[in-house]
A and B are shown apart, each in its own frame.
Chain A
């Protein structure tokens, strides 16, 4: 039955409809794959019993003709989404043991449409990181390796457990969240598709908050079609999230295969950064050629404030994080560290000192500093003004183009431990993705080729707000032209 794990979501849907196999068969095949993949460390919590129970219910619905759009699909859920009665940690010691009494809107939407959760995936602590190395539960290992080289590589981050589990065929799709690139960068590092929707498209309710004006949930899958199916389920208007937008969810899957002739695609000059990997530059021009061959028009554009996006982000995101993470106090949930004679301030300080990891503390301290009296205007307001200029750059070019094509990342996946000594070199991973979060726009990463070491590389398409349809239409063209069929060689079953 192991071939069931090679099916895409669309193929699995067809197989279930044709009764070639049951939802229980499909779930069991993936649970077996997970059992054999301990060496990848993709999951913080496994939920096999719950999965089999839901799969049996799914088979009943299929039998009575009541299938939802995600019926019987075995998926993984990033451990940042609160799941009722299932531990939710954000990969932080401070939330270890936290078992929500409620379900996030996005994961509830997936359940309502018939999806089956296999477990909760590992991530950078509170989604702060680009390599999954800040997790309290140890790093995730990328299923991909360089050819002839056993060096363990990072799966990207923060949605590293989700990206690795989709690439390793442990699930048909996974949820991710993206604050500065946390869906698209790991998707590129593992050869899968990742979508960061427009801010407000998916509800943030029940997702552990990192930086509320930037966070957005999205799908991670092996094909563009699967991402379209899964986003259609995740997206909704939700009155419980005041930044959720009341707009109908279009049929994204219907966009695939539609004509792209006449669409204008911008190539931003400022994304040609110094020291860019020549293989990535070559892939980027191939991407432009593929879209041109399909009848789109390629246009050079300028996004002049691009270089200021990361510095602005590293003021805004830590500022919001320092406020959001104030709730972890040793009183309401999770870890509590105190001696019997401690006062309440000591309880707070000891709990947070022990409960937060190094990167989280670094960002909380930066955020506290830039929001503190005397520095608020110089840092925080200044960064918000620069954010306006970055958003304005996009508004200006979207008068002339329908989408923008860029590389997703400046490099392929790197080795575990290679970049942990220098926070800024780690932050630079998000140089091509972070602008999209600041402007609130949708972006998609599509696996487009392999580098000389046999590692996957991704291309990113950026669209107008609430125009995910065009991204799916163009993404499907890039996917077909790239004809990316590579998958990681399974070394982990023997190692687990």
Chain B
């Protein structure tokens, strides 16, 4: 499988990364992504029928803790690094008209 410039635009949109409107600027990115995708596709040679996907590096069951509040109550710390904050809230452009 290989990607074309339109697919790169679609992926960039999904990833919320602005890319140039000029197709020529996306050619090198498209070529690089295809080189990587072609290279990883050698995995197709491997017979993985009856193999389960490995989702975690160690076999362990997640421990359960009591369902109690153990942290929090410091909104000023949460917004401290926000580029724009007001009244301990993050400020974003209007999203509801």
The residues of B that contact A100 with a CB separation of less than 8 Å are 81
Within 8 A of B (CB), among A365-387: 365-366, 368-369, 372, 375, 378-379, 381-387
- A257 on interface, CB distance cutoff 8 Å: no
- B77 on interface, CB distance cutoff 8 Å: yes
Of B11, B14, B54, B63, which one neighbours A391 at CB under 8 angstroms? B54
The residues of A that contact B82 with a CB separation of less than 8 Å are 331-333
Would B32 and A311 count as touching, CB distance under 8 A? no
- B95 on interface, CB distance cutoff 8 Å: yes
**Nearest A residue (CB) for B8:** A365
Nearest-Cβ distance from residue B67 to partner chain A, whole angstroms: 14
Of A246, A352, A423, A424, which one neighbours B16 at CB under 8 angstroms? A352
The residues of B that contact A308 with a CB separation of less than 8 Å are 42-43, 45-46
The residues of B that contact A356 with a CB separation of less than 8 Å are 17
Tell me the bound Cα distance from A100 to B77 in angstroms. 9
Would A352 and B93 count as touching, CB distance under 8 A? no
- B69 on interface, CB distance cutoff 8 Å: no
Of A239, A322, A333, which one neighbours B15 at CB under 8 angstroms? A322
* Chain B interface extent, by class: 35 or more
- A107-115, A336-344, A396-404: which one contacts chain B? A336-344
Would A314 and B81 count as touching, CB distance under 8 A? no
- A199 on interface, CB distance cutoff 8 Å: yes
Residue of A214, A308, A350, A366 ringed by the most chain B CB atoms within 10 A: A366
In the complex with contacts A213-B57, A333-B81, A384-B55, A379-B93 CB distance below 8 A:
no
Tell me the bound Cα distance from A200 to B57 in angstroms. 8
Of A99, A333, A338, A387, which one neighbours B54 at CB under 8 angstroms? A387
Of B39, B60, B92, which one neighbours A311 at CB under 8 angstroms? B39
The residues of B that contact A99 with a CB separation of less than 8 Å are 80-81
The residues of B that contact A413 with a CB separation of less than 8 Å are none
**Nearest A residue (CB) for B70:** A239
The residues of A that contact B37 with a CB separation of less than 8 Å are 366, 369
Interface string of B12-39 (1 = CB under 8 A from A): 1011111100000000010011011101
- A440 on interface, CB distance cutoff 8 Å: yes
The residues of B that contact A329 with a CB separation of less than 8 Å are 16
- B86 on interface, CB distance cutoff 8 Å: no
Nearest-Cβ distance from residue A344 to partner chain B, whole angstroms: 5
Interface string of B32-74 (1 = CB under 8 A from A): 1101110111111110100111111110101101000000001
The residues of A that contact B3 with a CB separation of less than 8 Å are 369
Would A98 and B81 count as touching, CB distance under 8 A? yes
Of B8, B16, B65, B77, which one neighbours A348 at CB under 8 angstroms? B16
Of A245, A349, A438, which one neighbours B58 at CB under 8 angstroms? A245
Would A347 and B53 count as touching, CB distance under 8 A? no
The residues of B that contact A480 with a CB separation of less than 8 Å are none
Within 8 A of B (CB), among A106-144: none
- A416 on interface, CB distance cutoff 8 Å: no
- A13 on interface, CB distance cutoff 8 Å: no
The residues of B that contact A245 with a CB separation of less than 8 Å are 58, 60
Within 8 A of B (CB), among A399-454: 423-424, 437-440
The residues of A that contact B56 with a CB separation of less than 8 Å are 213, 243
In the complex with contacts A245-B58, A388-B51, A352-B15 CB distance below 8 A:
yes
Tell me the bound Cα distance from A324 to B16 in angstroms. 13
**Nearest B residue (CB) for A389:** B51
The residues of A that contact B32 with a CB separation of less than 8 Å are 362, 423
Tell me the bound Cα distance from A235 to B81 in angstroms. 29
The residues of A that contact B1 with a CB separation of less than 8 Å are 375, 378
Nearest-Cβ distance from residue B81 to partner chain A, whole angstroms: 4
Nearest-Cβ distance from residue B65 to partner chain A, whole angstroms: 7
The residues of A that contact B63 with a CB separation of less than 8 Å are 239, 242, 246
Q: Which residues of B contact A (CB under 8 A)?
A: 1, 3, 7-8, 11-12, 14-19, 29, 32-33, 35-37, 39-46, 48, 51-58, 60, 62-63, 65, 74, 77, 80-84, 90, 92-95
Q: Which 3 A-B pairs have the closest CB atoms?
A: A440-B57, A384-B53, A336-B83
In the complex, besides A200-B57, A423-B35, 7 extra interface pairs with C-beta distance below 8 angstroms are A200-B58, A242-B63, A311-B41, A332-B90, A349-B18, A385-B54, A388-B51
